[in-house]
Homo-oligomer: A and B are copies of this chain.
Amino acid sequence: MKKFHLTAGPSELYFTVEQHIQQALKENVAVISHRSKAFQDMFGFTASQVREMLNVPEDYYMVFTGSATEVWERLAQNCISKKSTHFVNGSFSTRFHQFAEAWGHQTQKIEKPLGEGFNADDFSIDADSDFISITQNETSTGVQFPLEDIYKIREENPDKLIAIDAVSSIPFVDIDLTKVDSLYFSVQKGMGMPAGLGIWLFNERCLERAKEIKASGRHLGGYHDMFTLLKNAEKNMTPATPNALGIYLLGKVSEDLLRRKMDIVRSETEYKAGMLYAAVGAHKDLDYAVKEERVRSKTVIVIEILNGRSPKDFMAYLEEKGLVVSTGYGPNKATQVRIANFPTHSKELYFQLIDLINAW
C-alpha cells in the first residue's frame, strides 16, 4: 500500500517531483559541470522562480547552503556582532540560541514554555543586542510568530538585524521581506523536495554587518562565508560542487506552485488547517496543543491526545489506513502528534484524514 506522509518534514514529495527527477536525469542535470553555462542557466532559472514565488525584493541576495541548520552557523559567524536576542519556545529556536552561545556571543534568551507564543507585552529586547532571531514557525511545537508582531519588532528595533527561520512555513507564509533582514528555509518541508538544500536570503544590511565583523579581524568561516557564497551566487554558481539536482528541483517545484498561483496555494493551506482544527476541536479525545489561536500554526498542526488515549495508537490507526503523521517532539512525544499541512497535501487527502480522525 502506498503511504502518504503528512509528517512535519521530510514530508510527502510534491506530486511533480518524481517526474522532474526523470527529466533531470534526461537533461544530465547531475552530470554537467557546476562551472558550465548550462549549470548557470539552471541556477538562474531556480533563483528567478524562488524570487517570484516569495516576492523577494531585487536588492535581497539569495544563496544556497546544505541545510537551514547550516544557516544558523553562518548567521552566528557573519551577522551577529556581539549580542543576539533569541525568541525561544521549542527545539529549533533553542538550537540556534545554543549555536550563538557556542560562537562566544552574548545572548538574550526570551523564552516561553513549549506550546506558547510571544506577545509584545511579554518581552523587551535588550538595547545592546545587535541581532534578533525569530522562528516564524516552530516545527517542534506548532507555534507561529504572527507577522504583525515581527513587523512591530522591526519598527521598534530599526538598527538591529532581524533573521527569520521560515523552515516549515515556506511557501505558505506571505512575509514582507523588506521588514526583515534575512530569511531562510530548507526544501524538505513545504516545498516537498528531497532534503539536502538550504536557501538563505539576506539584504545589504547583513552584508554591511559581515563587512564590519570581517574588518574587526574575526574570521567569518571558510568556503561558505557570506562573501564567498555571494561572489559565486552573483555568477549563478556555488563555492563547492553543489546538490545540483536539488537546485533544479527547487526551480521546477517553485514554477509549479507559481502556476497554481500563490494566493490559491495559501488559501488552500488556510482552508485545510481550518478543517483539521475544527475536527480536533469537535473530537472529545483531542485538543489543540497550542491553546492561543493567534499563534497556532497553519502548516504544522499539533494535536494533544486526551483521556488516556495514546498518540501511538492514533498514529498506528492512521498508518493502517495509509497516512503517516509525526510524533510529538521531544518531551511531547507521549501526548502529542504533529500533522503537516503543506502544498503537496491535497484537500482530498485532508478530507480522508479528517474522516478518519472523526471515526477514531
Contact = CB atoms under 8 A, between A and B. Distances in A.
A360 interface: no
Contact of A33 (B18, B25, B326): B326
Given A9-B241, A70-B224, A103-B222, 16 more contacts: A10-B241, A10-B244, A13-B30, A30-B188, A33-B326, A67-B240, A68-B240, A69-B223, A70-B240, A73-B221, A73-B222, A99-B223, A102-B222, A194-B243, A194-B245, A196-B243
A166 to B, nearest CB: 15
Contact of A242 (B193, B195, B221, B222): B195
A238 to B, nearest CB: 9
Contacts of A65: 66
A94 to B, nearest CB: 13
B10 A196 contact: no
Contact of A244 (B28, B99, B102, B194): B194
A241 B30 contact: no
Contacts of A240: 66-70
Contacts of A49: none
A103 to B, nearest CB: 6
Interface string A3-23: 101010111110000100100
B241 A69 contact: yes
Contacts of A32: 5, 10
Interface string A186-230: 101000011111000000000000000000000101111000000
16 contacts: A5-B32, A10-B241, A10-B244, A13-B31, A30-B188, A33-B326, A34-B195, A66-B66, A66-B67, A66-B243, A67-B242, A69-B223, A73-B221, A188-B241, A196-B197, A243-B243
Given A66-B70, A69-B241, A241-B195, A12 B25 contact: no
Nearest to A77: B222
A239 interface: yes
A274 to B, nearest CB: 26
